[in-house]
Amino acid sequence: MSLRINDIAPDFTAETTHGPVSFHEWIGDGWAVLFSHPKNFTPVCTTELGTMAGLEGEFKKRNVKIIGISVDPVADHAKWQGDIKTATGHLVQYPLIGDKDLKVAKLYDMLPAGAGETSEGRTPADNATVRSVYVIGPDRKIKLVLTYPMTTGRNFDEILRAIDSMQLTAKHQVATPANWKQGEDVIITAAVSNEDAIKRFGAYETILPYLRKTKQPTG
């Protein structure tokens, strides 16, 4: 059965470049991003992991931990990090899971159940479904799922934007419109009456009976 938003993220233990990790314990009381890549020493993946390394400080500002995964062994992750630094200028300091027995990849629907039991001999084409992103909240529930094709590198700025939205809307009864960015107007949800909207948000704009906009709440 495929994982859906608001499902509990499956827990697991795995070897990483930072040593053994128990996933739910590692998340702690914050947010987490688990993102996978098809194979080490490949071009798109190299740019992606370097980009995430460059953005790690932005994730930390939002109380978000990041952890990468592929079906390559941990030792290969360590060897690859020099190439990532050369290509992107960023050193990977977040943990990378070595999922050589494919357990985590299958647990998170990154590979089909019939993919075998080991990463040995696998090519990037074999791992075509493994370019996924899971954003997980402090309640251990899945908040966002994205899966990309082999040839399309991910836009990690979009993942930060989505996290900004999810963290904001978890605190206030608002939603964010298309292409919303931090600091822009937000939508008042239908659960808030007009009277309550004035008390909560002050002035607001009614565009349609079901579409009301207001300034982004603070705090």
Q: Are 65 and 59 in contact (CB under 8 A)?
A: yes
Half-sphere exposure of 155 (CA within 13 A, CB side): 4
Q: Are 201 and 215 in contact (CB under 8 A)?
A: yes
Which residue is catalytic, options 21, 45, 111, 142?
A: 45
Name every residue whose Cβ is closer than 8 Å to that of residue 191 and which is 6 or more positions away in sequence: 173
Helices (H) and strands (E) in the chain, counts: 6, 11
213 membership: H or E segment, kind and range: strand 211-214
Q: What is the dihedral angle through the alpha carbons of 60, 68, 37, 167, rounded to the nearest 10 degrees?
A: -40
Is 45 a catalytic site residue? yes
Active site (catalytic) residues: 45
